Chain A
């Protein structure tokens, strides 16, 4: 059944390049964890190490307490859904799904039952004898899921599961994926570069950069309380404001943590006022962009070097703010601001970087 995954100090080096640089992550049994990061951050490599397609240079991976190092790909009890699904074009839907069962010497009658159950699970009952090529992208995705889950793996791996689908289908499949995962209770690790996807599907999100995990947390934690400027900037839009003497620049709000550094204010954290009232900061709207559900403003604030991104509901103000308007900007309050940690020092930083420059 589903099992806990422990990734400890995982390092991968490919032809002299450090791809993973000490990845630590625990995936609780039955949970859905997403590795999120820009391309080249090491998320796909981490997934490939879990699957056994890439060998670790250092560190180890445990699945249900059992070390996976040296265990061949097919003996890991892991279901893998490939980005392009990798369905076998010469086999029909049922034969694709029973493929892992053939390797496990499951009898014919039992195979038929298991395939039917798997097709029910992904809501494609009765499609067993259809050709794979006759299915839509979303249906192929479901078949790939059924094939990866039919043998009841301890871990399900999803490589950019929704990247090949168009936007509307992608949103429906996010919910669907989450439902299937909850129903089977299979521990799941997914890789994506789409932040909305990561936030909406996962129990935990691990944000990766440069071969390391920057932060692990629930979707709300990583969005509302990013640990580093990178995480703040990668998830949604972030206004990074300098912190001096424990207070946030321009707004003078108290900030927890280090007295000097930067903190993040989200575009939706602001309240717009017509006049510069008490507690508000004066600014000038420089740009407005109508985005349907919200109005995105760029506001140049008197005490800030960079313009702030502010988001308001389109109907929120009787007179919509326009470029050139002089407005007041106030923090919405609620929640505490924290100073973001500097990016952790690179473990493999060359010595020259740490030597102070000669006077």
Chain B
């Protein structure tokens, strides 16, 4: 017992050091990308030469980048709405399922573990088979499928913190199902739902595998366009776009965290 207590601080210190090392390693690429984005050079080199915001100005004023950004915002927006509806509905429905709840739950989470390549190809072939042409709509559906498990898990977690007696109380006080949902259950998990939607948007916005396969030529999403320009020329514009995406991700993550904390205080 004493030995264990003595060994623990040393062990935990080692764990902390290892954790910091891993975090540093993960952050290293960002530490490289950010300075390059502010480079004054015309080439993608590190360390960057000079300091300027010219690449940000360039990217934000370039029509192709602009179009890609708009496409990404649109597809991610639609996918987020779809995923939020589906995931929230599933989170409410599954605990009530009399039979097959386990199977359904596994099915809900499946898109998370199925390789995205398989999902992309499957969607492409399925749409072709059905006589349509894979396009932005297919991409929206695919991204929605990817984000649904995330929404489902987040909302289900929020819902599990809501006392089931509250819904019973609402019913006993004379309210029927839609009213119980609108007046009690949704307000109580509202923060979880919005938080889940924010995360879903972040996931869809910089999703690249489905985009690469499904976005039609001339309607590239931001990640696809980024990939294409990276393969053509190595300009710091790529770093600038990457930094912008990163900034958005940080904002979204912060938003989701803030919402999550609010939920817990509420419960």
Asked whether any CB of chain B lies closer than 8 Å to the CB of A167, the reply is: no
- Specify which chain B residues have a CB less than 8 angstroms from the CB of A151 in the assembled complex: 173-174
Interchain nearest-CB distance for A66 vs B (Å): 17
Please tell me if the beta carbons of A80 and B267 are within 8 angstroms of each other in the complex.
Answer: no
Pick the contact of B179 from A73, A83, A103 — CB < 8 Å? A103
Please determine whether B165 and A74 come into contact, CB atoms closer than 8 angstroms.
no
Please tell me if the beta carbons of A74 and B174 are within 8 angstroms of each other in the complex.
Answer: yes
**Cross-chain contact of A103 among B165, B166, B174, B188 (Cβ < 8 A):** B174
CB-nearest residue of chain A to B266: A89
Judge if B168 is at the interface, Cβ distance under 8 Å.
yes
Residues of A near B169 (CB, < 8 A) are: 80, 82, 86, 88
Q: For window 41-79 of chain A, which residues contact chain B by CB distance below 8 Å? A: 51-53, 72-75, 78-79
A102 CA to B180 CA, complexed, in Å: 11
Query: B183 to chain A: which residues have CB within 8 Å?
Result: 99, 102
What bracket does the count of chain A residues touching chain B fall in?
20 to 34
CA distance A73 to B169 in the complex (A): 10
Report the separation of the CA atoms of residues A215 and B176 in the bound assembly, to the nearest whole angstrom: 37
Q: Which residues of A contact B173 (CB under 8 A)?
A: 74, 79-80, 99-100, 103, 147-148, 151
Chain A residue, CB-CB nearest to B180:
A74
In the bound complex, CA of A53 to CA of B168 (Å)? 8
> Per a CB cutoff under 8 Å, which of B168, B172, B184 touches A88?
B184
B175 within 8 A of A: yes
**Does A110 sit within 8 A of B, measured CB to CB?**
no
**Which residue of B172, B179, B267 is within 8 Å of A51 (Cβ)?**
B172
Q: Smallest CB–CB gap between A353 and chain B, Å? A: 35
CA distance A220 to B32 in the complex (A): 84
Give the tally of cross-chain contacts (CB within 8 A): 63
Give bound CA distance, A51 to B267, whole Å.
Answer: 26
Query: Is B174 in contact with A75, judged by CB distance below 8 angstroms?
Result: yes
**Cα of A187 to Cα of B163 in the assembled complex, Å:** 28
| CA A95 to CA B163, docked complex, whole Å | 18
B166-A88 in contact (CB<8A): yes
* B170 contacts A by Cβ under 8 Å: yes
Instruction: Tell me whether A332 is interfacial, beta carbon within 8 Å.
Output: no
Q: Known contacts being A88-B184, A89-B266, A89-B267, is A103 close to B163, with CB within 8 Å? A: no
Docked complex Cα distance between A100 and B173 (Å): 5
Q: What does the 1/0 interface line of A77-107 toward B look like (CB < 8 Å)?
A: 0111011101011100000000110111000
**CB pair A74 B188 closer than 8 Å:** no
Contacts of B140-169 to chain A: CB distance below 8 A: 163, 165-166, 168-169
Contact yes or no, B188 A86, CB < 8 A: no
Q: CB of B171 within 8 A of chain A?
A: yes
- Counting CB contacts under 8 A, is B216 at the interface? no
Given A88-B184, A89-B266, A90-B266: A78 and B170 interface contact (C-beta under 8 Å): no
B95 close to chain A: CB less than 8 A: no
How far is it, in angstroms, between the C-alpha of A349 and the C-alpha of B175 when the chains are bound? 42
Q: Which chain B residues border A79 with CB–CB below 8 Å?
A: 172-173
CA distance A83 to B168 in the complex (A): 12
Contact sample, A vs B, 27 pairs, CB 8 Å cutoff:
A72-B176, A73-B171, A74-B171, A74-B172, A74-B174, A74-B175, A74-B176, A75-B174, A79-B173, A80-B169, A80-B173, A82-B165, A82-B168, A82-B169, A83-B165, A84-B163, A86-B163, A86-B165, A88-B184, A89-B267, A99-B173, A100-B173, A100-B174, A102-B175, A103-B174, A103-B175, A103-B179
